[in-house]
Amino acid sequence: MKVLVFTRTPSAFAGLAVQKGKKALRIEVLPMAGVRDAIPASANEALVYLDLRGLGEKERDKTLSLLNKHPDVCFGIIDPAGAVDDVAALFHAGAVDYIGKKLGAGALTARRLSKVAEYSRSVDQASDTLDLSEDMPEPMSAEGSDGWSEIVPGREYRFAFLYIEADDAEELKKRYEPANLASAMETFRGFIDRTVTQHGGRLWMWSRFGGLALFPLRGGTSLAPQCGLRILLARIFYDVEESLLPGRLSFRMALSVGSTLYQKSNTGGIVSDGINSIFHLGQRFARPGQFLLTEEAFELSPQQLRGYILPAGTYEGRRIMRMLRPVPAAGNPENDPACET
């Protein structure tokens, strides 16, 4: 595997590039200036490291957003200054390594690179071939009155995962002042939280632009698909009556079924294939405005709803469905600025 290290100070990594031996990785240490061209070309080809030292906030955000736009690129971040606030979000976006303040840039050794390369290959293989639900231990289902009363923090359960995230966060950041955008996203969170709660779910994780809700599976059923439908239908009213943004907010959703350890707080540190998988589906496969469902999530949907759900392709070895979207008046999606197809 090829490893590309982009940095402002190539000399700091000079020792890395001269590996010898059978298992030697092809390591290239390159100036940061070439990163914009190199990232798109690196999909499935290389492991990319970005050294954030010496980058201004704007340049750092731009480069990270470039990575978000190319989900097939495996990447690691070298951040000795600890400039990244939400490290977990990097991993949700496809990161395979993070070298932070405690480790220091010196931790990027040939040995570590070999391990990371091996890990990133195994992640690729797993996501291409495995139906993750088959290999999971038998987690508990919540059968209580509301599904939540029997759920005990610290144990693993099967849930319906509903992922929701505003589209084009980079554009929103460019367009609005940080404080105004933060208030607007807080209002969006409130709308999602309220609707999820009305359908027996809980908004479990939330970063700036989106998050993850959990719905207990009661006797193998859940109101999660109905919740997604309700959010689609309520979107217009949210935009007009609650949203603080002058335009309409486009967002995507994805629904799957999986297992996770349940904790009330510190959810950022939870490692779960199910959670990784739903974030990948939402961030990498869903298009703006879409509501995607895995086959298992489709099985949760009541019969009446299935007529509104269509096949949408395959992702990570699983069949994916999408819910039709409401369109206004004469059925002309062009009338609806948030309905991108």
**For binding to other proteins (CB under 8 A), which residues are involved?**
226, 229-230, 233-234, 236-237, 239-241, 247-248, 302, 304-305, 308, 310, 324-333, 335-337, 339, 341
CA dist 88 and 95 (Å) reads: 9
Q: Sign of dihedral through CA atoms 190, 196, 198, 201?
A: negative
DSSP of 123-159, one letter per residue? HHHHHHH--GGGGS--PBPP-SSSSSTT--TTSEEEE
- Tell me the CA distances in angstroms from 223 to 218, 230, 297, 302, one per residue in order: 10, 10, 11, 9
Burial of 290 (0-12, 13-18, 19+ CB in 10 A): buried
- Nearest approach, Cβ of residue 78 and other proteins (Å): 44
Residue number, 88 or 234, with CB nearest to other proteins = 234
DSSP code string of 195-257: HHHHTT-EEEEE-SSEEEEEEE-BTTB-SHHHHHHHHHHHHHHIIIII--SSSPPPEEEEEEE
Name the nearest CA neighbour of 13 among 34, 27, 33: 27
CB 31 within 8 A of CB 6: yes
Shortest Å distance, C-beta 250 to other proteins: 13
Rounded CA gap, 4 and 7, in Å? 10
Nearer to other proteins, 226 or 277 (CB): 226
CB of 206 to other proteins, least distance (A): 25
Query: Least distance (Å) from other proteins to the CB of residue 168?
Result: 18
CB of 306 to other proteins, least distance (A): 11
CB of 326 to other proteins, least distance (A): 6
Least distance to other proteins, CB of residue 241, Å? 7
Nearer to other proteins by Cβ, of 211 and 289: the residue is: 289
Length of the chain: 341
Please give the Cα distance from 57 to 337 (Å, whole number): 31
Comparing CB distances to other proteins, the nearer of 48 and 231 is: 231
